[in-house]
Amino acid sequence: MFAIMKRDFRSYFNSPIAYVMIGLFMFIVSFFFNDYLAYGSSDIMSGVISNMSFILLFFVPIMTMRSMAEDKKNGTEVLLLTSPVRVTEIVIGKYLALMGVFLIMTLFTLIFPLILIIFGSPDLALIFSSYLGFILYGAVFVSVGLFASSLTENQIVAAVIGFVSMFTLYAIKFLASFFTGFLYDVFTWLSLNARYNDFMTGIIDLTSIVFMLSFVAVFIFLTVRVTERKRWSQG
């Protein structure tokens, strides 16, 4: 498991992907920061972090698209699947590598709260809860992206599937408004954003944390299933 994590993690940083993504992400986020906080003369980070999670919609699929798809395309999948490592370990290893890249990207954005701390007196607890929310949100997106990547050997297709699924998750609250009664409740309950907004307002709710982590677990499980399914396929 850790062998795979280490290898994948390195490979993201051996290619330009991680650097380009982190650079671009920082570039865009700094615009938001400038706009909201510098011009708005505010020290509340939440708005910026909200926007950061929105741009994740575009960044995560590109980050995750190669994770499983590339192994299939290059035939290295055979190496992994015929090694004594279990499929679950393979998938978790790949997930952790992606999370590593994501966390490093997040680490870079900490420069913004740092600026706030130096030049103002922001609510540190709020920043903490917002970041926690952001990381959990990212964790869910990465698991969705990983799953999308396991469905195909074409990276572009993986990215598109990933983006559409993430967007659906993102917009599910909006979809809920088309329904009433039970379906409305289901969609609202599924909505990541509702829970995410709690974090943005400084509420750390254990159920939300569990909810997000279960989401991750479900998608990792699905990824394992999809990968195993191929072995058992009869057609």
Other beta carbons within 10 Å of 204: 13
**Which region among 152-160, 165-173, 175-183, 226-234 touches another protein (by CB under 8 A)?**
226-234
State which of residues 7, 132, 198, 221 lies at the interface with another protein (CB under 8 A). 7
Helices (H), the chain: 2-14, 16-33, 46-64, 66-74, 76-81, 87-109, 111-119, 124-151, 155-170, 172-176, 181-190, 192-200, 206-232
76 binds another protein, rule: CB under 8 A: yes
* CB of 120 vs another protein, minimal distance in Å: 44
Tell me whether residue 86 or residue 189 sits nearer to another protein (CB atom).
86
* CB of 101 vs another protein, minimal distance in Å: 15
* CB of 88 vs another protein, minimal distance in Å: 12
* CB of 65 vs another protein, minimal distance in Å: 16
Residues 77-116 that bind another protein (CB under 8 A): 77-86
Torsion of CA 15, 99, 20, 71, to 10 degrees: 40
Tell me whether residue 6 or residue 173 sits nearer to another protein (CB atom).
6
Other beta carbons within 10 Å of 60: 29
Contact (CB, 8 A) for 41 and 119? no
Residues 6+ apart with CB under 8 A from 113: 45, 122, 127
Tell me whether residue 4 or residue 48 sits nearer to another protein (CB atom).
4
Tell me whether residue 83 or residue 201 sits nearer to another protein (CB atom).
83
Residues 6+ apart with CB under 8 A from 86: none
State which of residues 9, 14, 96, 166 lies at the interface with another protein (CB under 8 A). 14
* Count of residues in contact with another protein, rule CB under 8 A: 28
* CB of 79 vs another protein, minimal distance in Å: 4
Tell the residue number behind the tokens 């922001």, with chain if given. 122
Rounded CA-CA distance 137/216 in Å is 10
Chain residues that interact with another protein, rule: CB under 8 A: 2-4, 6-7, 10-11, 14-15, 74-86, 230-235
